[in-house]
Amino acid sequence: MEFNRILLKLSGESLMGDRPYGIDETRLDEYAAQIREVAQKGVEIGIVIGGGNIFRGLSGASRGFDRVKGDQMGMLATVINSLALSSALTATGQKNRVFTAVRMEPVGELYSKWRAIEAMENGEIALIAGGTGNPFFTTDTASALRGIEIEADAMFKGTRVDGVYTADPEKDPTATKFKTITFDEVYSRGLKVMDLTATTLCKENNLPVVVFDMDTYGNLLKVIAGEDIGTLVHC
Protein backbone atom coordinates (compact mmCIF):
# COMPACT_ATOMS: atom_id res chain seq x y z
CA MET A 1 0.00 0.00 0.00
CA GLU A 2 1.39 3.39 -1.00
CA PHE A 3 1.03 6.34 1.34
CA ASN A 4 1.07 9.81 -0.18
CA ARG A 5 -0.72 11.58 2.68
CA ILE A 6 -1.12 10.31 6.23
CA LEU A 7 -2.71 11.37 9.49
CA LEU A 8 -0.30 10.61 12.33
CA LYS A 9 -1.91 10.22 15.76
CA LEU A 10 0.54 10.59 18.62
CA SER A 11 -0.10 9.76 22.26
CA GLY A 12 0.30 12.58 24.74
CA GLU A 13 1.48 10.07 27.35
CA SER A 14 4.31 8.96 25.05
CA LEU A 15 5.68 12.51 25.10
CA MET A 16 6.38 12.07 28.82
CA GLY A 17 9.21 9.63 28.11
CA ASP A 18 10.34 8.45 31.54
CA ARG A 19 8.88 11.47 33.30
CA PRO A 20 5.75 11.25 35.47
CA TYR A 21 4.09 14.10 33.51
CA GLY A 22 4.81 16.86 31.01
CA ILE A 23 7.12 16.69 28.00
CA ASP A 24 10.45 14.88 27.72
CA GLU A 25 12.63 16.92 25.36
CA THR A 26 14.60 13.89 24.17
CA ARG A 27 11.44 12.01 23.19
CA LEU A 28 10.09 15.16 21.51
CA ASP A 29 13.28 15.59 19.46
CA GLU A 30 13.20 11.91 18.44
CA TYR A 31 9.63 12.27 17.23
CA ALA A 32 10.50 15.41 15.27
CA ALA A 33 13.49 13.71 13.61
CA GLN A 34 11.40 10.67 12.62
CA ILE A 35 8.64 12.86 11.20
CA ARG A 36 11.12 14.94 9.21
CA GLU A 37 12.63 11.76 7.70
CA VAL A 38 9.22 10.72 6.40
CA ALA A 39 8.39 14.22 5.14
CA GLN A 40 11.67 14.26 3.19
CA LYS A 41 10.44 11.15 1.35
CA GLY A 42 7.62 13.29 -0.05
CA VAL A 43 4.86 12.01 2.24
CA GLU A 44 2.35 14.70 3.26
CA ILE A 45 1.67 14.59 7.00
CA GLY A 46 -1.12 15.82 9.26
CA ILE A 47 -0.63 15.27 12.99
CA VAL A 48 -3.05 15.03 15.92
CA ILE A 49 -1.54 14.72 19.42
CA GLY A 50 -3.33 13.72 22.61
CA GLY A 51 -3.03 15.72 25.81
CA GLY A 52 -2.92 13.02 28.49
CA ASN A 53 0.60 13.96 29.59
CA ILE A 54 -0.79 17.30 30.80
CA PHE A 55 -4.51 16.88 31.47
CA ARG A 56 -7.20 14.36 30.57
CA GLY A 57 -10.78 15.62 30.72
CA LEU A 58 -12.37 12.30 31.68
CA SER A 59 -10.04 11.75 34.63
CA GLY A 60 -10.60 15.37 35.64
CA ALA A 61 -14.35 14.76 35.65
CA SER A 62 -13.85 11.79 37.99
CA ARG A 63 -12.13 14.18 40.43
CA GLY A 64 -14.98 16.67 40.41
CA PHE A 65 -14.28 18.85 37.37
CA ASP A 66 -17.23 19.76 35.19
CA ARG A 67 -16.91 17.39 32.20
CA VAL A 68 -17.19 20.17 29.60
CA LYS A 69 -14.60 22.32 31.37
CA GLY A 70 -12.36 19.27 31.84
CA ASP A 71 -12.54 18.40 28.15
CA GLN A 72 -11.77 22.01 27.24
CA MET A 73 -8.70 21.84 29.46
CA GLY A 74 -7.72 18.64 27.65
CA MET A 75 -8.10 20.42 24.30
CA LEU A 76 -5.72 23.15 25.49
CA ALA A 77 -3.26 20.44 26.55
CA THR A 78 -3.20 19.16 22.95
CA VAL A 79 -2.41 22.70 21.79
CA ILE A 80 0.55 22.88 24.18
CA ASN A 81 1.86 19.55 22.85
CA SER A 82 1.38 20.67 19.25
CA LEU A 83 3.30 23.90 19.89
CA ALA A 84 6.12 21.88 21.47
CA LEU A 85 6.32 19.53 18.47
CA SER A 86 6.11 22.50 16.11
CA SER A 87 9.13 24.05 17.83
CA ALA A 88 11.05 20.76 17.65
CA LEU A 89 10.21 20.34 13.96
CA THR A 90 11.28 23.89 13.21
CA ALA A 91 14.61 23.21 14.94
CA THR A 92 15.23 20.35 12.46
CA GLY A 93 14.50 22.68 9.54
CA GLN A 94 11.10 21.14 8.83
CA LYS A 95 8.39 23.65 7.91
CA ASN A 96 5.11 23.22 9.74
CA ARG A 97 1.93 25.01 10.69
CA VAL A 98 -0.23 24.76 13.81
CA PHE A 99 -4.00 24.70 13.35
CA THR A 100 -6.49 24.85 16.22
CA ALA A 101 -10.07 23.62 16.30
CA VAL A 102 -11.19 26.78 18.11
CA ARG A 103 -10.03 30.29 17.33
CA MET A 104 -6.92 31.29 19.28
CA GLU A 105 -4.71 33.38 17.04
CA PRO A 106 -1.79 34.04 17.28
CA VAL A 107 -1.24 30.67 18.99
CA GLY A 108 -2.40 28.84 15.87
CA GLU A 109 -4.42 29.27 12.72
CA LEU A 110 -8.11 28.32 12.82
CA TYR A 111 -8.37 24.85 11.29
CA SER A 112 -10.08 24.26 7.98
CA LYS A 113 -9.71 21.25 5.72
CA TRP A 114 -8.63 23.35 2.75
CA ARG A 115 -5.98 25.35 4.63
CA ALA A 116 -4.53 22.17 6.13
CA ILE A 117 -4.37 20.48 2.71
CA GLU A 118 -2.83 23.60 1.17
CA ALA A 119 -0.15 23.60 3.87
CA MET A 120 0.67 19.92 3.29
CA GLU A 121 0.79 20.37 -0.49
CA ASN A 122 3.32 23.18 0.13
CA GLY A 123 5.58 20.80 2.07
CA GLU A 124 4.48 21.90 5.54
CA ILE A 125 3.43 19.50 8.25
CA ALA A 126 -0.07 20.32 9.52
CA LEU A 127 -0.29 20.06 13.30
CA ILE A 128 -4.02 19.92 14.02
CA ALA A 129 -4.68 20.75 17.68
CA GLY A 130 -7.68 21.23 19.94
CA GLY A 131 -9.39 17.91 19.29
CA THR A 132 -12.69 18.32 17.47
CA GLY A 133 -13.33 21.57 19.31
CA ASN A 134 -16.19 19.89 21.18
CA PRO A 135 -16.39 18.14 24.56
CA PHE A 136 -17.15 14.40 24.88
CA PHE A 137 -14.94 13.49 21.90
CA THR A 138 -11.51 11.90 22.31
CA THR A 139 -8.39 12.74 20.33
CA ASP A 140 -8.78 9.31 18.68
CA THR A 141 -12.10 10.53 17.30
CA ALA A 142 -10.49 13.84 16.33
CA SER A 143 -7.78 11.88 14.50
CA ALA A 144 -10.34 9.83 12.60
CA LEU A 145 -12.32 12.95 11.70
CA ARG A 146 -9.27 14.95 10.57
CA GLY A 147 -7.85 11.97 8.68
CA ILE A 148 -11.08 11.66 6.71
CA GLU A 149 -11.30 15.42 6.14
CA ILE A 150 -7.76 15.82 4.82
CA GLU A 151 -8.27 12.77 2.58
CA ALA A 152 -5.43 10.80 4.14
CA ASP A 153 -4.57 7.38 2.76
CA ALA A 154 -4.39 6.00 6.30
CA MET A 155 -4.20 6.91 9.96
CA PHE A 156 -0.96 5.91 11.68
CA LYS A 157 -1.56 5.47 15.39
CA GLY A 158 1.80 5.72 17.14
CA THR A 159 1.71 4.11 20.57
CA ARG A 160 4.12 2.44 23.00
CA VAL A 161 2.81 -1.00 21.92
CA ASP A 162 3.93 -2.51 18.60
CA GLY A 163 0.46 -3.40 17.30
CA VAL A 164 -2.93 -4.84 18.21
CA TYR A 165 -2.97 -7.88 20.49
CA THR A 166 -5.60 -10.36 21.68
CA ALA A 167 -5.16 -8.79 25.13
CA ASP A 168 -3.01 -6.13 26.77
CA PRO A 169 0.55 -7.45 26.25
CA GLU A 170 1.77 -5.39 29.20
CA LYS A 171 -0.59 -7.36 31.49
CA ASP A 172 -1.03 -10.70 29.72
CA PRO A 173 2.17 -12.48 28.59
CA THR A 174 0.11 -14.94 26.50
CA ALA A 175 -1.33 -12.15 24.32
CA THR A 176 -0.70 -12.65 20.60
CA LYS A 177 -0.33 -9.95 17.97
CA PHE A 178 -2.48 -9.50 14.89
CA LYS A 179 -0.80 -8.72 11.58
CA THR A 180 -4.13 -7.49 10.20
CA ILE A 181 -7.60 -7.26 11.71
CA THR A 182 -10.94 -5.83 10.59
CA PHE A 183 -12.81 -3.04 12.35
CA ASP A 184 -15.69 -5.47 12.94
CA GLU A 185 -13.37 -7.94 14.65
CA VAL A 186 -11.90 -5.17 16.83
CA TYR A 187 -15.45 -4.37 17.91
CA SER A 188 -16.61 -7.97 18.43
CA ARG A 189 -13.50 -8.85 20.46
CA GLY A 190 -13.80 -5.69 22.54
CA LEU A 191 -10.22 -4.66 21.75
CA LYS A 192 -9.25 -1.20 22.93
CA VAL A 193 -7.58 0.06 19.76
CA MET A 194 -9.62 3.28 19.69
CA ASP A 195 -12.94 4.34 21.13
CA LEU A 196 -16.09 3.20 19.33
CA THR A 197 -16.80 6.57 17.73
CA ALA A 198 -13.35 6.69 16.13
CA THR A 199 -13.58 3.04 15.03
CA THR A 200 -16.99 3.60 13.43
CA LEU A 201 -15.83 6.76 11.65
CA CYS A 202 -12.83 4.95 10.17
CA LYS A 203 -14.90 1.95 9.11
CA GLU A 204 -17.71 3.95 7.50
CA ASN A 205 -15.24 6.13 5.60
CA ASN A 206 -12.80 3.34 4.73
CA LEU A 207 -9.83 4.92 6.51
CA PRO A 208 -7.37 2.14 7.40
CA VAL A 209 -5.48 2.43 10.67
CA VAL A 210 -1.90 1.25 11.24
CA VAL A 211 -1.06 0.71 14.92
CA PHE A 212 2.69 0.67 15.63
CA ASP A 213 5.35 1.46 18.21
CA MET A 214 6.39 5.07 17.67
CA ASP A 215 8.78 5.05 20.61
CA THR A 216 11.32 2.83 18.81
CA TYR A 217 13.38 5.22 16.70
CA GLY A 218 13.05 4.60 12.95
CA ASN A 219 9.75 2.73 13.13
CA LEU A 220 7.73 5.49 11.47
CA LEU A 221 9.89 5.39 8.35
CA LYS A 222 9.81 1.57 8.36
CA VAL A 223 6.05 1.32 8.61
CA ILE A 224 5.57 3.94 5.88
CA ALA A 225 7.93 1.93 3.68
CA GLY A 226 5.72 -1.13 4.13
CA GLU A 227 7.92 -3.13 6.49
CA ASP A 228 6.09 -5.81 8.43
CA ILE A 229 5.75 -4.06 11.78
CA GLY A 230 2.60 -2.97 13.56
CA THR A 231 -0.97 -4.04 12.79
CA LEU A 232 -3.21 -2.94 9.92
CA VAL A 233 -6.85 -2.39 10.90
CA HIS A 234 -9.11 -2.32 7.85
CA CYS A 235 -12.67 -2.78 6.57
pLDDT at 192 over 90: no
pLDDT in tens, 9-24: 999 999 999 898 999 9
pLDDT of residue 56: 75
Residue range 189-202: mean pLDDT, rounded: 94
Give SS3 for 88: helix
**Cα distances (angstroms) measured from residue 22 to each of 18, 41, 67, 158:** 10, 31, 22, 18
pLDDT at 59 over 90: no
pLDDT of residue 60: 64
pLDDT at 206 over 70: yes
pLDDT of residue 234: 97
Number of domains in the chain: 1
Residues 6+ apart with CB under 8 A from 165: 172, 175, 176, 177, 178, 191
Cα(146)–Cα(211) distance, rounded to whole angstroms?
17
Residue range 106-135: mean pLDDT, rounded: 97
Domain with 124 in it: what CATH number?
3.40.1160.10
pLDDT of residue 61: 66
pLDDT of residue 65: 78
Beta strands, E only, the chain: 5-10, 44-49, 96-100, 109-110, 125-129, 154-159, 180-182, 209-213, 231-234
pLDDT in tens, 153-174: 999 999 888 999 998 888 888 9
Model pTM score:
0.95
Residue range 59-72: mean pLDDT, rounded: 81
The closest of 88, 112, 126 to 8, measured between CA atoms, is 126
pLDDT of residue 113: 98
pLDDT of residue 183: 97
Cα(57)–Cα(97) distance, rounded to whole angstroms?
26
- For residues 225 and 1, the answer to whether their CB atoms sit within 8 Å is no
Domain enclosing residue 202, as ranges: 5-234
Cα(235)–Cα(200) distance, rounded to whole angstroms?
10
pLDDT of residue 196: 93
